[in-house]
Amino acid sequence: MRSTISSAFLLMILTIIVAAGPMPAAAQQPALEGEGTRVGTKIVIRDLKRDDGGTVTLRFRMINQSDKPQGLYQLLGGYLDDRVHLLDSANKKKYLVVKDATGKCECTQIRGNVSKDEPVNLWAKFPAPPDGVQKVAVVVDGFEPVESVPITAR
């Protein structure tokens, strides 16, 4: 008797789940990516996290879906420190890549190619927006801006 009730209860729960269907599109998190000006290229934001010491670290991936390898430097039009920034629309502020005392950026060195099915991971550090800022836009030259990127805690 007990197993019949348990089976009936389980069947009822499964019926409710199946009837509800997949999550609505509005509830799913949108992809954080920007198409490149060169066909077949795009960036995908992995995360933007607050660090200790008043900085945030942006981690993103560059993808080339074309058959021809693309040079990172050529895709960006230069080095990462001059080609990526954060935009805080609420405070109308632009955040540039952090540089050390010698002028070297706290970011990935740009070298090599991006080939099909071999994405390249990149990163850069920025001054942290105020704690109340929850989202910013990420702008990488040669790619569409990626809006509403959440800033998360480390």
Q: What is the DSSP string of the chain?
A: -HHHHHHHHHHHHHHHHHHH-SPPGGGSPPP-EEEBSSTTEEEEEEEEEE-TTSEEEEEEEEEE-SSS-EEHHHHHTS-HHHHEEEEETTTTEEEEPPB-TTS-BSB----SEEBTTB-EEEEEEEEPPPTT--EEEEEETTB--EEEEEPEE-
* Rounded Cα distance, 126 and 51, in Å: 10
Instruction: Read off the pLDDT of each residue in 69-74 and give the average, rounded to a whole number.
Output: 93
Share of the chain above pLDDT 70, in %: 81
Q: Who has greater pLDDT, 147 or 31?
A: 147
Determine the pLDDT at residue 142. Answer: 95
Tell if the pTM clears 0.85, that is, is over it.
no
Determine the pLDDT at residue 28. Answer: 56
Query: Which domains are seen in the chain, by residue range?
Result: 31-153 (2.60.40)
* Rounded Cα distance, 138 and 86, in Å: 5
Is the confidence at residue 51, as pLDDT, over 60? Answer: yes
- How does the average pLDDT of the chain come out, rounded? 86
